[in-house]
Amino acid sequence: MTDFLRRLLMTPQGLLGSIIVVLVLFAAVTGGWFAPHDPDAMAALARYKPPGGEYLLGTDQYGRDILSRILSGARSTVTMALLATVLGTLLGAVVGTASAYLGGRWDEFIMRTIDAVMAIPSLLLALLVVSLLGAGGANALLAVAVAFMPGMARITRAVALTVRKQDYVSAAIARGEGSGYIVLREMLPNVVAPIVVELTIRVSFAVMLFATLSFLGLGAQPPAADWGLMVSEARQYLHRSPWILIWPSAIIAVTAIGFNLLGDGLRDALNPRT
């Protein structure tokens, strides 16, 4: 484990990605504790303040402290993105592994269905799910998870197909093990490494997808301190005070880049031979 961490932190992308992700996760866990102001407190006299002075990153159209809102917004945005990705990945991994294990007509059927679903752009699919179930945080989470599932299933199946040919799977079949045991205990642990890499990279997509959904008014609802929602609301005041828009946009970008770099670093660290 320490050897693995050392390899991860040796590469520049792994180091930088880990630092960013740790900071973001720290903000998500501690939430608003370190926020200098109440994220929802309005101050009529301190609207549209530029960065500096009492308000480090300035204030928005209601005079709310942007830094505090970003810090407390980390909890909902990042947690939701992580949860949605993990859920989508788990579903996709099980479907992909099962498809590779079953093979033949079943594999064909599952994969062609997945191809059909993948033909729909993920944002559109998420929009569809949200508009069917209604706007809101939990539904947005489900929408993102559903949108991610087919891609993960495809990647997992590709890896699982090589695992399927290994003799330990044949040995398990020859012993008469049940399908559940073979998929979950024999195959899944051996496809985990590429899945973890893909998962970290996808978190960055999820952060952006959530931001987009909130931006379109289908995710978090005001007055929640959600990064995407903040960007959406700030749009109208772009000319008056661009900072309201720039800060949450920048933090979304940095988080996405951080997870992406971590994913790259993990890929190198998990495959020491390449």
Is 109 a residue that touches other proteins (CB under 8 A)?
Answer: no
Measured from the CB atom, the residue of 172 and 252 that comes closer to other proteins is 172
User: What tokens appear for 49 in the block?
Assistant: 């303040």
Measured from the CB atom, the residue of 96 and 258 that comes closer to other proteins is 96
Sign of CA dihedral 249, 254, 257, 258: negative
Is 131 a residue that touches other proteins (CB under 8 A)?
Answer: no
Question: Which residue, chain included where needed, has tokens 């800060």?
Answer: 247
Select the span of 116-124, 130-138, 174-182, 232-240 touching other proteins (CB under 8 A): 174-182
Q: One-letter amino acid identity for 235?
A: R
Number of helices and strands in the chain (H, E): 11, 0
Least Cβ distance, residue 170 to other proteins (angstroms): 5
Least Cβ distance, residue 174 to other proteins (angstroms): 4
Among 189, 235, 240, 271, binds other proteins (CB under 8 A): 189
Measured from the CB atom, the residue of 97 and 241 that comes closer to other proteins is 97
Is 162 a residue that touches other proteins (CB under 8 A)?
Answer: no
Select the span of 37-45, 78-86, 184-192, 201-209 touching other proteins (CB under 8 A): 184-192
d(CA 236, CA 112): 44
Least Cβ distance, residue 176 to other proteins (angstroms): 4
* DSSP helix, strand, coil percent of the chain (3-state; round to 5): 75, 0, 20
Among 4, 34, 106, 168, binds other proteins (CB under 8 A): 168
Task: Indicate the Cα dihedral angle 79, 82, 87, 90, nearest 10°.
Answer: -150
Chain centroid to Cα 147, Å, comes to: 12
Residues 89-108 that bind other proteins (CB under 8 A): 104
Angle at 64 between CA 63 and CA 65, to 5 degrees: 115
Residues 3-22 that bind other proteins (CB under 8 A): 3
Answer for the pair 203, 85: CB distance below 8 angstroms, yes or no.
Answer: yes
Measured from the CB atom, the residue of 105 and 239 that comes closer to other proteins is 105
Is 173 a residue that touches other proteins (CB under 8 A)?
Answer: yes
Q: Name which of 76, 72, 92 is nearest 210 in CA terms.
A: 76
Chain centroid to Cα 205, Å, comes to: 6
Is 180 a residue that touches other proteins (CB under 8 A)?
Answer: no
Measured from the CB atom, the residue of 132 and 174 that comes closer to other proteins is 174
Among 186, 198, 233, 264, binds other proteins (CB under 8 A): 186
DSSP string, 236-257: GGTTT-THHHHHHHHHHHHHHH
Is 175 a residue that touches other proteins (CB under 8 A)?
Answer: yes
d(CA 241, CA 14): 36
Is 176 a residue that touches other proteins (CB under 8 A)?
Answer: yes
Applying CB under 8 A, the residues found at the interface with other proteins are 3, 104, 166-168, 170-177, 185-186, 189-190
